Structure 1
Amino acid sequence: MAAARKGLSASPPDGGWGWMIVIGCFLVTICTRAVTRCISIFFVEFQTYFAQDYARTAWIHSIVDCATMLCAPLGSFISNHVSCQVGIMLGGLLASAGLILSSFATSLEHLYLSLGVLTGLGFALSYSPAIAMVGNYFHKRKALAYGIAMSGSGIGTFILAPVVQLLIEQFSWRGALLILGGFVLNLCVCGALMRPVAGKEGRKNIPEFPEQEFEPEAPKQDFKKWSVCSPLIKVWSHKWLCPCSWQEYSFLLMPDFVVLAGSVLFMAYGCSPLFVYLVPYALRVGVSHQQAAFLMSILGVVDIIGNITFGWLTDRRCLKKYRYVCYLFAVAMDGLCCLFLPVLQNFPLLVPFSFTFGYFDGAYVTLIPVVTADVVGTKSLSSALGVVYFLHAIPYLISPPVAGWLVDTTGNYTASFLLCGFSMIFSSTLLCCARLAKKVKRTPLKPPDTDIDAKQPRRTNGAILYSVTGELDHKDVELLANETNSHCKR
């Protein structure tokens, strides 16, 4: 038992097999986030084949992103209570099945279910557990490890975007989806790499709350403390169910996490439509199909630079304290890029946009798990990431269709891109204001010189008077003493 407890408290190894975990997470992000981004290349093909408008076609990408983020807590639950390896492998099988079934689609509704729900569910079971595993293996070099792992999204986009365009030209969109389905099966290989950290292995061999078995009084205190959950305990006959759930999600009551969660909603709303409409927008302003796919490749490769450089820089001692500020800056810069996008209407101007947006997108995506870990701690990181990615679900679901509706209504992309930009800037501003308010609240106030120490005894003719700090001054004490003396004489 002592050995098991010692293992549980072991610090992250910051290396060793942890680098294999980083490689595994790198491949997971390629097979999940990069493939999701490349679905936008199918947008025009789906719209043409099924003869539908922007809003209805955009639901495909929205449902994929929404299902991925909405089911992220399920991925964290399987990782915490079953195995990270099982979760990722199961996710790979589901995602592959969804892509293969999508290649036989005969309607948009078919794609909503297969490519949207089934593939998104598979990505959810793989994505958040893989990211949480990196946090379990690294502490000192956490931002760098996350930068390398999350750069898979950029590298995958850079490689897959022209490849998918080539596959569509050679085998049509059906053949391209079928090949992507086989490619996504590599998630099963990634899952095999996710070996639990040494300190976590002892958990399966000891009770979840071992000290309660050796201290008879502890369970009674726990039942009093968790009396609200007593119906659940009676139904399930599991006396540790509620404390376990509370320990996993106690961070939900932290003010810092609540503010972070609120900002994530606006950030997710702003970033999603651009990956859906960058290629259609480029085609609208006269860019060729190959150049439009190349814009996605540029965005992806610069995303890699943002992942790694921001991860490395924020691990430096001089910037480690300012990770939060770096995250705010990156989100705000992406918002500014969206505001300027409507005036960029040719390929030479869209190239620097892809560079700038891709760099800062990689920067803040890398810092999301790092900032979350700084707020809630490493122990709650898996559950917290599940909640954070869960909060992406609703914005990811509604933002592309809303942007598509604005395009159908106004006839251009200006309103859609402006709404995205302002949403991301508001997300950064919200966190900045919360940070400033917290600093102001922490500023110590000098106590007045006339204050009297709390609970300091004062004796007057045998009567003991207790003064309250900041409430009673010396005159009030003398007046109260005189009244007490007169009362005693009576």
Structure 2
Amino acid sequence: MSQGKAEFSGPGWVAVLCLHVNCILWAGILKALGVMLPTLVEQFATETWVIGWMVAIINGAINIVVSCLSCSSVLMRAAVARCFPINYGTATGLAMSGFPVGTLLIAPLTQLLLDTYGWRAAMMLLGAMSLHLSACGALFRQRSRGSEKSNQYETLREDDDLDDSSPNNIAKEKSRLRAFKDALTAQTEHFGFSVFLKFSFWIATLLEVCIRFVSDQWLVYFVPQAEAKGFSPQEAVTFVTAAGIGNIVFKLVLGVVVDRGLLKLRPAMAAVIVMSCVSFVIVPWVTSYWMTLTNAVVFYGSCGAIGSLIDIFTRELLGVDLLISAFSWMEVISALVSLGFGFYPGWIYDETGSYDLAFVSLGCVWALSLVALLMEQVNARWYKK
């Protein structure tokens, strides 16, 4: 896909549309598992943390190996970054508004499917919805370059006329050690290991892992947490619907504000992170209907805004060429963290009978992302010296 003014061309908006659909499916399926969590605990006669950990395994280990959602997400995010050298905040805001749309639509749909068909049929129907990803993949086309060069004259290098067995060529051959080093370097670049050597990659990864882990746990455990506070399943789904609307508004508005230069990227990220931390810390005192609804809107709206800003932040730190490798390894590391610690909110609930401590601890994890921003500022000042 071409760059430059690609933001006004078809391929750019195709990339936005495909990433939008991917986000709908990702958030929708994860939220559907959260809606079904109380039903699954009852059906399998087990504890909450066991089912929660199974969801974490689905979101973690399977994503590392075979998840079409993970692979397509990385490629589509990189495609959007390449196609929109300017107005990237607006483009990624539109694309990632699929997360709240998925939450907004699939959460009540899952509750309807549960009430109508049961959890087994509901899972089958939700799985069938994922087939839309194949249509998204079919929309991408790589520009053919063979036809552009087929009629062009190509000059031969001078050394192409020389005999490979000539003494001069033999003298210029690389040693086996140098050849092994070159092969190792090529494989390192091929698998994207080179990003591990960049400190800026680890800054972006810490930010991504903290935000991704906490937001995924919120999607899984918010409905059970609302029901544990005495709200009905229908009221809990209403909270999620309102949160999805807030996510869309926050994401689009903040993306445009950052693109237009009305607010700088890093202050915007810091403000959003602080808002989210506060919404977690006050969970033990949030008991009424309207307070719970407002709290959900503030957190998930902030989550949507920071999700778009992280991609802009990563592109600024690493550049466009390293985005595929960076996004891929960030997905893998996030999945490993989810696999290792995705059970603990449910475990805390089983031990204490309340989700309050679990949500406060998630707020502390979210606050670690402020450390990443501080590290980036210190690193930038160090290089200026």
Q: Normalising TM by the smaller chain, what interval?
A: 0.7 to 0.9
Pairs aligned (count): 369
Give the equivalent residue in structure 2 for 1:314.
258
Give the equivalent residue in structure 1 for 2:53.
59
Give the equivalent residue in structure 1 for 2:112.
166
Give secondary structure in 2 for the equivalent of 1:295.
Answer: helix
Give the equivalent residue in structure 2 for 1:425.
367
Q: Deviations over 1:157-195 (max 9, x none)?
A: 101111110111011111111211221111111111223
- Mark the runs of 5 or more structure 2 residues left unpaired by the alignment: 150-155, 160-167
The one of 221, 231, 241 aligned to 1:277: 221
Q: With CA pairs under 8 Å and 6+ residues apart, which has the higher RCO, 1 or 2? A: 2
Residue 27 to residue 262, structure 1, CA distance change in 2 (3 Å) = closer
Deviation at 1:332, TM superposition (A): 3.0
Residue 243 to residue 36, structure 1, CA distance change in 2 (3 Å) = closer
Residue 440 to residue 130, structure 1, CA distance change in 2 (3 Å) = closer
Deviation at 1:408, TM superposition (A): 1.4
The one of 33, 39, 54 aligned to 1:45: 39
- TM normalised by structure 2 equals 0.86
Give the equivalent residue in structure 1 for 2:152.
none
Structure 1 outlier segments of 4+, above 4 Å? 203-206, 213-217, 220-224, 226-229
Residue 329 to residue 68, structure 1, CA distance change in 2 (3 Å) = farther
**Contact 1:68/1:123, CA 8 A, preserved across alignment:** no
Q: Does 1:436 align with 2:383?
A: no
The one of 238, 241, 260 aligned to 1:294: 238
**Contact 1:26/1:149, CA 8 A, preserved across alignment:** yes
Deviation at 1:26, TM superposition (A): 0.9
Q: Deviations over 1:85-132 (max 9, x none)?
A: xxxxxxxxxxxxxxxxxxxxxxxxxxxxxxxxx6xx232232221222
Of residues 375-384 and 325-334 in structure 1, the stretch that sits farther from structure 2 once superposed is: 325-334
Partners of 2:34 and 2:88 lie apart in 1 by 31
Give the equivalent residue in structure 2 for 1:100.
none
Deviation at 1:359, TM superposition (A): 1.0
Partners of 2:253 and 2:172 lie apart in 1 by 50
Q: Does 1:25 align with 2:25?
A: no
Residue 144 to residue 205, structure 1, CA distance change in 2 (3 Å) = same
Give the equivalent residue in structure 2 for 1:401.
343
Deviation at 1:278, TM superposition (A): 0.8
Of residues 176-185 and 61-70 in structure 1, the stretch that sits farther from structure 2 once superposed is: 61-70
Give the equivalent residue in structure 1 for 2:180.
230
Alignment of structure 1 residues 201-280 onto 2, 5 Å:
201-202=144-145, 214=157, 227=177, 230=180, 233=183, 241-242=186-187, 244-245=189-190, 248-280=192-224
Q: Deviations over 1:63-104 (max 9, x none)?
A: 122146534xxxxxxxxxxxxxxxxxxxxxxxxxxxxxxxxx
- Mark the runs of 5 or more structure 1 residues left unpaired by the alignment: 1-6, 72-117, 207-212, 234-238, 445-490
Residue 269 to residue 222, structure 1, CA distance change in 2 (3 Å) = farther
Percent identity reads: 22
Deviation at 1:373, TM superposition (A): 0.9
Q: Does 1:141 align with 2:87?
A: yes
Partners of 1:263 and 1:203 lie apart in 2 by 41
Alignment of structure 1 residues 286-435 onto 2, 5 Å:
286-319=230-263, 322-428=264-370, 430-435=371-376
Deviation at 1:138, TM superposition (A): 0.8
Partners of 1:395 and 1:272 lie apart in 2 by 11
Give the equivalent residue in structure 2 for 1:14.
7
Alignment of structure 1 residues 62-81 onto 2, 5 Å:
62-67=56-61, 70-71=64-65
Letter in 2 for 1:40: G
Partners of 1:58 and 1:222 lie apart in 2 by 58
Residue 304 to residue 146, structure 1, CA distance change in 2 (3 Å) = same
**Contact 1:28/1:187, CA 8 A, preserved across alignment:** yes
Residue 283 to residue 223, structure 1, CA distance change in 2 (3 Å) = farther
Give the equivalent residue in structure 2 for 1:181.
127
Partners of 1:205 and 1:409 lie apart in 2 by 66
Deviation at 1:152, TM superposition (A): 0.7
Give secondary structure in 2 for the equivalent of 1:52.
Answer: coil
**Contact 1:68/1:124, CA 8 A, preserved across alignment:** no
Give the equivalent residue in structure 2 for 1:151.
97
**Contact 1:158/1:296, CA 8 A, preserved across alignment:** yes
Letter in 1 for 2:300: G
Give secondary structure in 2 for the equivalent of 1:314.
Answer: helix
Give the equivalent residue in structure 2 for 1:77.
none
**Contact 2:246/2:297, CA 8 A, preserved across alignment:** yes
Residue 339 to residue 174, structure 1, CA distance change in 2 (3 Å) = same
Residue 421 to residue 242, structure 1, CA distance change in 2 (3 Å) = same
- TM normalised by structure 1 equals 0.69
Deviation at 1:311, TM superposition (A): 1.4
